[in-house]
Chains A and B, each alone.
Chain A
Amino acid sequence: MNPTDPSNPQLPPPIPPPLTPAPLPPNAGLGVLLDSLLKQPSRLVHELHQAKNSRYLLLLALVALAGFACYGVVIGTFSGGEQLFAAPLKVSLGSLATVLICLPSLYIFACLTGAEVSLRGLAGVLVATLALNALLLLGFAPVAWVFSQSTESVAFIGALHLILWLISLAFGLRLLRLFMDILRVSDRVHVRVWTAIFILVSLQMTTALRPIVGKSEHWLPTEKKFFLAHWAENLFGTRD
């Protein structure tokens, strides 16, 4: 039997060619960046992986912050008043804080997969994930606004924002998967564990910065609480 014969069942499947998408044009502007974020994310992820400079990272961070702030205004319209300023600030700065909390573990967990990554490249991909998350939330903003004007239930509007955020994040996290594809990482258990940590930290951030949807006398909570207890309180009216 010819060992090089591809029909030989004893041979492992052939290694696919390296995933090297076409690079972005040099000094690509914001338009090109957003275009590739939506249409050709693998190009952008590959560019961020190369991590030649921090320009794309900063631009994407601005997109993410601005996107979350705009969506925060929509969240604020439910309660109006000072929540119109507080909600955008809390949503955008909360997202930034989540990135800062989770980036060190993402770097070590990515190393545990065996991938050769740079901190800058990984930060770029994480920020791109959030930028895509924020852009999709902006797409959902009209829907969220309609519901926020037609209901008075904090629990309902809170659950709606949560569902929309989770859908957007699921699309955003595809960039991280693409990044792992480019790096040819097969053992992704650690990245999945990190994703669970990231989601839990994000959910807790919404409780740590409450109220984001409803009204309160204070900008920040005076009582420390975990998000499950906070949700139970809002859904069933229980106090712990």
Chain B
Amino acid sequence: MQSLRRLLILCRGDSARIAPWLEERDPRWLLTCVIAITAGCALYGGVVGLWRAPVQAAYTAIKMPLLIFLTCSGNALLNGMLAQILGSGLSFRQSAQAILMSFTIAALILASLSPVALFILYNAPPLGSAARSTGHSITLLSDVLFIAYAGFVANRRLLRLLQHLCPTPAAARRVFWSWLAGNLFLGAQLSWILRPFIGSPGLPVQFLRDHPLRGNFYEAVFNALRHLLS
């Protein structure tokens, strides 16, 4: 019950009550965040993948929380150093905990939107129908909107928490933007490696595409732009 109460306070964004949690050495709150991210993202990921196939749902349910944990752990050292260099006064552990808490908010928002996503999925033209590309586009568009909203809210909360913790608002903004840039840069590439999430109608259901490490997100965007302009 204590953990549930804390998750609700986290959603409310009461920085004065949240800030002391970063001082705690007790790993229970960290574990609560990890469980919330795993459950929330797995639930939403399961719904996202369900349009393609039940097996894809299981794969995406595993990959969505994995993407978040890999991004957090991959950038943990860099984020901790940036926090100290840019004058936030936060330790490595506190930086990691603050970022994990913002992902927890995003996971809770996505979990709460899962019934709506499931309803959209129920109404989307299925894979076997002639309008399957419409179904794929609708699923993709709604997922992008939901994830963008969850990410936006979670980052706003993170900025507010940093403004409460950092000695100056300028330091808070510097740390926030540096963390965001690093997490987006690595997160985009990791999501490329871990693709597919929804699953293209014409491609087989796979946990990872063949040769997942070949190519990268930015190269793909560059090639797509070049193709568009040529």
Contacts and interface: CB of A to CB of B under 8 A. Distances in A.
Interface of A: 100-102, 104-105, 107-109, 111-116, 190, 193, 197, 201, 204, 207-208, 223-226, 240
Contact of A116 (B12, B112, B124): B12
Contacts of A102: 115-116
Most buried by B among A100, A102, A112, A204: A112
Interface string B76-88: 0000000000000
Interface in B97-131: 108-109, 111-116, 118-120, 122-126, 129, 131
Nearest to A114: B12
B99 to A, nearest CB: 19
A102 B120 CA distance: 12
A190 B153 contact: yes
Interface in B1-55: 8, 11-14
B123 A226 contact: yes
Nearest to A118: B8
A224 B124 CA distance: 6
Interface of B: 8, 11-14, 108-109, 111-116, 118-120, 122-126, 129, 131, 135, 138, 149, 153
B123 A112 contact: no
**What is the predominant secondary structure among interface residues of chain A facing chain B?**
helix
Contact of A240 (B14, B112, B116, B131): B131
A224 B129 contact: yes
Given A108-B111, A111-B11, A116-B12, 18 more contacts: A100-B115, A102-B116, A104-B112, A105-B113, A105-B115, A108-B11, A108-B108, A108-B109, A112-B13, A114-B13, A197-B116, A201-B116, A208-B122, A224-B126, A224-B129, A225-B123, A225-B125, A240-B131
